[in-house]
Amino acid sequence: MLLNAIMLFLVSIEPYLLSLLSFGSFQTSRSAVVSFSSEAYALDLAGLILIMGLFTHQLTIEERKLVDPALLVRYRRNRNVLYSVAALFAVSALPPFWSWQVIGTPARFYLWYAILAFMLLSRLSGRIRT
């Protein structure tokens, strides 16, 4: 229940943080606000995805028999992807990913795009094999 409550809180602040990022300009004096917002957003997504990974882990415990044994491999793979993505989002919150710029845009945003592409490709590859 505690994880559910934390997840609800993280879900509730996610749109606010995203709106701060969407309307902020990287070149203005509000850059500190946008930088903080992007760090908080990265940590928020890391927390959300970590909790989803923890929930998925509960499904993979064989003794509980919550999932058909034939699907355990698929759920374990999904859990591992979620843990990896959570770690990448947490790493993207580090200050260097804000100060490093690619074509005038912080590297943090490019890392997020790469994470989303990784998630999409992992889901597609899982569907093709099974």
Helix (H) or strand (E) holding 77: helix 72-92
Whether 69 shows a pLDDT value over 80: the answer reads: yes
Strands (E), 1-130: 101-102, 105-106
Top pLDDT among 130 and 94 is at 94
Instruction: Quote the pTM value.
Output: 0.79
| pLDDT, tens only, 75-108 | 899 899 999 999 999 999 998 888 888 888 888 8
Domains held by the chain: number: 1
Domain with 65, as residue range(s), is 2-129
Among 128, 120, 123, 50, which Cα is nearest to 89's? 50
DSSP state of 103: T
Task: Decide: 18 and 42 in contact? Cβ < 8 Å.
Answer: no
